[in-house]
């Protein structure tokens, strides 16, 4: 069975500092990994995905994520946080083609000015 763990309910960071939001996964076969962001009372917005190739994936709004197969992790990073990055972030995994996305419980990112 596929599963995703986001070990931190909340991450607090000061504006301008680097941020990391952690995600680990479990899936049989090759993982297809995604990060989504959700603003209050809104749907999910796609940030980035890892399918194959380079372990460092670059996405929207300056975010990037590093795929680590040995640690089964896919942590979201940004070199310099903005207050506007404050939102709820979800990591998701998709196994074989045609299967649905399975989400973690989410991590609230709070960036202070």
Strand partners, 44: 38
Q: Is 1 in the site for another protein (CB under 8 A)?
A: no
Q: What is the DSSP string of 41-98?
A: T--EEEEEEE-SS-SEEE-GGG-EEEEETTTTEEEEEESS--GGG-EEEEEEEE-STT
Q: Is 32 in the site for another protein (CB under 8 A)?
A: yes
Per CB under 8 A, contacts with another protein among 83-112 are 90, 94, 96-106
When the beta carbons of 71 and 99 are compared against another protein, the nearer one is 99
When the beta carbons of 90 and 111 are compared against another protein, the nearer one is 90
* Residues contacting another protein: total by CB under 8 A: 25
């Amino acid at each position: 069975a596929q599963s995703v763990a986001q070990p931190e309910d909340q991450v607090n960071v000061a504006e301008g500092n680097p941020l990391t939001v952690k995600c680990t996964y479990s899936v049989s076969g090759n993982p297809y990994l995604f990060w989504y962001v959700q603003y209050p009372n809104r749907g999910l917005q796609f940030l980035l995905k890892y399918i194959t190739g380079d372990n460092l994936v670059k996405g929207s709004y300056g975010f990037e994520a590093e795929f680590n197969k040995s640690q089964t992790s896919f942590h979201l990073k940004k070199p310099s946080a903005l207050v506007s990055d404050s939102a709820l972030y979800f990591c998701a995994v998709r196994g074989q083609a045609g299967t649905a996305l399975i989400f973690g419980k989410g991590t609230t990112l709070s960036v202070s000015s």
